[in-house]
Each structure stands twice: as structure tokens, then as C-alpha cells.
Amino acid sequence: MNQTRSPIGPGVLLLLVLLAGGWFLQRGVAQDQNVYVQTRLLEEVIDHISQRFVEPVDRQQLYQSAIDGVIGGLGDPNSSLLNVDDYENFRIQTEGDYGGVGLEIVDRDDFITVVSPLPGTPGARAGIRAGDEIIEVEGESTRDWSAQQAVQLLRGAPGSDAQVLIRRPGVDEPIEFTLTRERIQLRSVPFAALLNGEVGYLPLGLFSETSAGELRAAADSLREEGAQSFLLDLRGNPGGVLDQSIGIADLFLDRGDAVAETRGQSNDQNQRYRASTEDQFAGMPLVVLVDRGSASASEIVAGALQDHDRAVVIGAPTFGKGSVQTLFSLSGGNVLKLTTARWYTPRGRSIETPGGTEEESPHPETGPEEEGLQQAAPPESNGARIALTLDGQFIQVPDTTGRPTVTSYGGRTLFGGGGIVPDLLVLPDTLATGEQEAVRRLFRHAGRVNTAIFNQAVDFLNRNEVDGADFTLPEGELDALIQRLEAEGVELSSGQVQEISRFLTRQLEGEIAVQAGGDRARFLRHYAGDFPLLRALEILEVADSPEDLFARAGSQLSGTEP
């Protein structure tokens, strides 16, 4: 029997198979080859520049410029390459024990912006405010600096001075400050107070390794004193150790409740965080105070408690700092600090400030699968009204028009679109138009003004026995302060003196109180004029339960939490 033989021999057939396989393999490896070509292209460009450019060029600097370009192209101010010195500064900063001036800063709009001065630090005592732009450090312009560059110059040996030039919104001329560095070791809860005999006031200044424990101890102590409800004050809190935000939310949520979620490109960055214990203060109404200085970990706490209808949030919209940075060790002792994920609240609200690549992406929930989260830039007008408060803070009147919405677990409407929008928008006491104009002019001499106020307070305490916040400021004391200001070279007309008297009186009273009795004394001296806090007290004093609290705040629950 004859068999038909293929005209294609085994060798030819094998060649065809290899060629065909190569074609398919080529499609699979094309992307890798393209990366190889681009890598080789970079090497060739650097070779030609280093060898043939008209003037000598440092090859190492070319590589550094290439790295800077790659990271800068991300458009993320929180990602950077840290050399050995930069990383050591970063490590010291995160451990919270260093010589510095106590300013929380970010790089925004070409310059370094103060998010918040940390309570009790040189920056806070000098009068630097949230929203101030640092335009020079030690005589060097900070234009296009990263926050790490500014940190490196602002930190130093305790007792040494740091010279900074500040541009303040609403003030025409830059302001000079000389800050004496100190070792920064901060308490998260500087004090606690029982207000009106039944409301436990808990100010949380920042998130450190001990925050949850400090807050739990303070709340337990206030409950033993008779507290029936709590007022958690996160205003001006720039964040800190994010793990502690989970622990603090855990104090007020039930076991298994979602606290927050991170989402990133890699699976190890996609994590859900849940409460691990039962509500430690079940049945006790809770209000959280926030403002534009509340950021990062503060927003995680406020967002979680708001989403679960555990707290009424009062104040102004928060900053919006919801990104996660991861450190990667590289060759030569360098470290890459890279944004690898973003935070979301339990109901899926991204807290990242609008304007980046992150978009609002609410995730309605069914059952137990929850979703969920960045700080505050200075108020930019964008046509919105900016006002000056009695405490000297610039605020932007908030507008929720056009913001996306989600619903809380209890059915309440919540706003997304960046930061945490309070359930009740309550702004601080603001100065009248004439007062604002006069105080803005006074800010041109902010360094000398704060020095004069400090010295006048010292002089007053040397002449008077003062017990914390309980003292009366004689009328002549303000006149003495005015004379001290004029002696410092601050020229004031009689009309301007009249317009700034209310502001200076409050500043002087606060400085006397803090010198006499610390932060608690200053708080007790001023809280009667704190509009957001007074609104919180008003509803806490009549609310019998968390459910009643929402009704009193005009935000009735319409559902039940799963």
C-alpha cells in the first residue's frame, strides 16, 4: 500500500513551528522589549550628553535629574526620593522626638504651605497659622521645594534659631519670623474638661503612638466625673500615626464595624480596617468638631463615625489628606517614599482633595462589605468669600454646591467630593469689615506683634496673682500693649487702635491664660465665644441618646445600620 508522503520534511516542519511560535512569543514579549529599548535609550542619551555636550556635565547629576523627572511626572507632592540624610530626618519626624519648630507642612502651589502649627511648639507660640506660605527658610527661596527640603532646614539642634519668611493670605507684605528650635515631644490629649457638669470635652491635638490610650484614659476619667456625653475636638489636628485613627474610631464603634479602607494598584495595598472591640461608650451621645486644619488621621476618625451615624460632625469642611505613603529601600541607602494607596470612609467616600487623579467613587453597600480616604491648603478665594475670625484665622465660607452625595448606614445624606463635610456647618466668630482690614495691616508686623503680646503677658503675670483662666484684664492693660507695639516700631493710628482692640484683647487674654495655666486655661478662657463648640454643647445637653442627637441636629435617621 502506497502512503502519501508530505513534501515538507521534518526539519522544515520544525522550522515552521519555531517561526510560528516565535511570532506568538514576540507578541507576548513586545512590551518587555519596549521597556528594554526605552531603558537603553535613556543610557544612550546620558552617554552622549556626558561625553559630547558643549560643557562638562556630571553624569551622576544626569541620573538624579532623570529620577527627579520620573517622580515629578507623577504629579504627587507626597512621593519623593529620600537620600540618607533626608530619610533620617523623615524617621526622626515620624518618631516624634526631634529638634524642630513644630509645623505641619505640605508643598502646594509652588511654595511650602503650613497645614497647622502643632500645639505648644515654637511655630504655634510665634503666631504662625494654618494656611501661611513659607516662601523663604534661612534666606533661601522655597519655590518648587518639596516638603522634605523644607523639613531638612527647619529641623536642627534644640536651642538654635530658624529664620523663615511667611506670606499670609490677606496680608500684602511677607512676614519675618525667628523660631527657636525645641525638642518636640507632644501629648495627643493636652487636657480634658467637664463642661456644664455633663459634657466631656476631649481635644485631640495630633495622632501619636499613644493617642488611643490617652483618649481612652481621658474619656474614662470624665465619665467617672459625671460626663453623660462627649465632645471630641479634632480642629487643627493635622493627623499623624494613622494606625491610631483606627484605634480611636474603635473606641466608639462596635466590633466588626468598618473604619476605613485603602485602595491601590497592588493587592497588598487593598485593605479594610474594622473595629476589634465593642463600643466602649455605648449609648453616650458624641459630637466631633472639625475644620480646615483637620486632616489625614482626623478625617479617618470623623468619616468613620459620621458614616456609622455614631457622631454628629460640626464645624467646617476638613482638608482632604487621604493618601498612603510606603517606604522602599533602594541601593546606596536611598529610600523611595511613594504614594501607593488612598483612604476611603466606610461608605466609599474618597477624602483626597479634588484636583488630582482620584475621583469620587461611592460604593453602596449590601451586607457587611464596606468601603472607604488626605490636609488643608490655605483658603483660595476662587470667587468665594474669605473672612477673618476673632482668633485671627482666615476661613473660606464653605459651599457644598455640586458635591456628590452618599447615604450613611442610617440613611442620612452625606457629602463627598473631598474632605469631610460636617453635618452642621458652623463657622467661628468673625471680625467686622473694618476690624478685618485693620488686623490684616497688623499682620504685616506679626513677628513683632506676637513678641509684644508675649512680653505684655509676662509683665502682667509679674504684677498680678493669676489662677489659670480666672482673671480680669484691666482697661489700661490694652493701652500698655499698644505702647509696647509702638515702641517695637508698629505704627498705629487712633482709628486702627479702635479696630484692632477686640482682636488684641483676645490674643492677650489667651497668652496670659496659657502662661498661667497651660492650654486648658486658655481653652476655658475662650470657649464661651467658640461658636461651633457652643452649638455642640447646645444639642449635647438636651440629647438623651445618639439617635436623639441626630434629631436635635436636624439630621433624622431614616434607616438602620446593617
Residue pointed to by grid coordinates 463600643: 279
**Residue 337 known to be catalytic:** no
d(CA 87, CA 83): 6
Asked if residues 247 and 212 have their Cβ atoms less than 8 Å apart, the reply is yes
**Residue 296 known to be catalytic:** yes
**Cα–Cα distances in Å, from 531 out to 231, 316, 493?**
14, 12, 31
Find the catalytic residue in 116, 291, 321, 530.
321
Question: Can you count the helices (H) and strands (E) in the chain?
Answer: 14, 23
- Bridge partners (DSSP) of residue 413 are 407
Asked if residues 65 and 42 have their Cβ atoms less than 8 Å apart, the reply is no
d(CA 434, CA 388): 11
Neighbouring residues of 338: CB distance < 8 A, sequence distance ≥ 6:
79, 325, 326, 328
Smallest CA-to-CA distance from 130 within 381, 288, 318 is with: 318
Count of alpha carbons within 13 angstroms of residue 365, beta-carbon side: 24
Find the catalytic residue in 107, 233, 291, 307.
307
DSSP output for 396-456:
E----TT--EEE-TTS-EEE-SSS---SEE-PPPB--HHHHHHHHHHGGGHHHHHHHHHHH
CB atoms within 10 A of CB 127: 22
Q: Strand, helix or coil at 300?
A: helix
**Residue 321 known to be catalytic:** yes
Residue 283 φ/ψ region, left for φ over 0, alpha for ψ in the -120 to 50 degree band, beta for the rest = left
Asked if residues 193 and 519 have their Cβ atoms less than 8 Å apart, the reply is no
Find the catalytic residue in 116, 229, 296, 555.
296
How deeply is 211 buried, as exposed, middle or buried, from its count of CB atoms within 10 A (0-12, 13-18, 19+)? buried
Smallest CA-to-CA distance from 363 within 435, 270, 444 is with: 270
Cell readout for 408 is: 450613611
φ/ψ of 239, rounded to 5, equals 105, -150
Estimate to the nearest angstrom the gap between the alpha carbon of 365 and the chain centroid: 28
Neighbouring residues of 386: CB distance < 8 A, sequence distance ≥ 6:
169, 170, 379, 394, 395, 396, 397
**Cα–Cα distances in Å, from 222 out to 182, 281, 539?**
32, 12, 19
Q: Strand, helix or coil at 335?
A: strand
Q: Which residues are catalytic?
A: 296, 307, 321
